[in-house]
Amino acid sequence: MQEVEGVINGTYDYMQLKGDTGPLVYPAGFVYIFTALYYITSLGANIRLGQYLFAALYCGNLLLVFNIYRKTCKVPPYVFFFMCCASYRIHSIYVLRMFNDPVAMCLLYLAVNLFIYNHWAWGCLVYSLAVSVKMNVLLFSPALLMLLLVSQGWLKTVYHLVICATVQLVLALPFLAANPVGYIVRSFDLGRQFFYKWTVNWRFLPEELFLNRYFHLVLLLLHIVALVTFLSKRWSRSYGGASSLLSRSPIHPVLNSNQIVLPLFAANFIGMCFSRSLHYQFYVWYFHTLHYLLWSTQMSVKYRLLILGVIELCWNTYPSTVFSSAALHVCHAILLGGLWYSETTEKPKTAAQKME
């Protein structure tokens, strides 16, 4: 509320916008959404009304996620209990804390629904809106690029990328006009330094190493290697190999739901595994995808539920400890390995095959 109040008062230079928690570090979509909340909640004073609105957002988010799971037919219905009722941290992030992370993820799940129904242009528009709220949604972008190349061909992929870029440009125009460099540096700051006291995933490291730039570069390199490996050895296998992604025409115009969802959710999860810091609100970045990813592995049900429970325990440990951080990495490693050794998804049907 403090950050958007500066915009309401006429300041469009991102370098001048800040609140008690620090400078404004989110893209323009965040400003517009929380400006609306500012007025709806009586200039940010009616906290209870804001919580009601976020409770409604939470329910809407669940509906979108449920539809994704319904279309993929991979996860049994009883798992929804664990998704809805077993996470104190998620309830806190949505209804008590009212972070922008749930808003961004709700838009992301709406975009995934549109992709599943083959509305790629509308999906890219909504996806870009999600990025405009918080840039963590970019973690899905490598898989989205692959899916666009496969389903649209590279010419139409360029068209869809233009849609994404246009949304960012239009939303940011007032701020770009005031200070273009300041807007880009603040809203998409890839080199932003995080506080050691808030880290959930690296508490077992000394603070000096946690803050070390070479450590950050190693994590980035591992992130890229993992993405390229999964892309070339796992995800692209159903499309005839990585070289086929450069085809001018669509390889598979009609994709099945699992072929869309698995790469998107897995790419985001890989980004979480190699993140240089995870804060408590970041749990929503992948919580609603964990159930799908676990049921995409060949692990037994008891181990899937055990991993879900340990991950939940790690995120509910405050402040984080050496044990909770290490346990979170162990769970991530097990799940990542399970995804690597899982069976590849069924090959998507072409338009002609779907008509048969």
Question: Which pLDDT does position 178 carry in this prediction?
Answer: 95
What is the domain range of residue 232? 2-341
DSSP string computed for 190-237: TTPPPPGGG-SS-TTS-HHHHT-HHHHHHHHHHHHHHHHHHHHHTGGG
Q: How confident is the model at residue 162 (pLDDT cuts 50, 70, 90)?
A: very high
* pLDDT > 90: percent of the chain: 79
Task: From 100, 127, 92, 98, select the one nearest 111 (Cα to Cα).
Answer: 127
pLDDT for residue 353 is more than 90: no
Instruction: State the first-to-last Cα distance of the chain, in angstroms, to the nearest integer.
Output: 55
Least confident of 11-20, 54-63, 260-269, 282-291: 11-20
Question: Looking at the chain, how many residues does it have?
Answer: 356
pTM given for the model: 0.93
Q: Which of 86-95, 282-291, 346-355 shows the highest mean pLDDT?
A: 282-291
Task: For residues 129-157, give the mean pLDDT.
Answer: 94
Asked if the structure places residue 170 within a domain, the reply is yes
Residue 352, domain member (yes or no): no
pLDDT digits (tens, 9 = 90+) for 1-57: 889 999 999 999 999 999 888 899 999 999 999 999 999 999 999 999 999 999 999
* pLDDT exceeds 80 at position 247: no
pLDDT higher than 60, residue 248: no
**Can you give the pLDDT at residue 59?**
95
| Residue 166 counted as domain residue | yes
Number of structural domains in the chain: 1
Q: Does residue 353 lie within any of the structural domains?
A: no
pLDDT of 164-204, one tens digit each?
A: 999 999 999 999 999 999 999 999 877 777 888 889 999 99
At 236 the pLDDT is 75
Domain membership flag for residue 245: yes
Q: Is residue 234 part of a domain?
A: yes
Q: Do the domain assignments include residue 347? A: no
Q: Would residue 346 count as lying in a domain?
A: no
Average pLDDT across the chain, whole number: 91
Per-position b or e across 112-143, b if 16+ CB within 10 A of its CB: bbbbbeeebeebbbbbbbbbbbbbbbbbbbbb
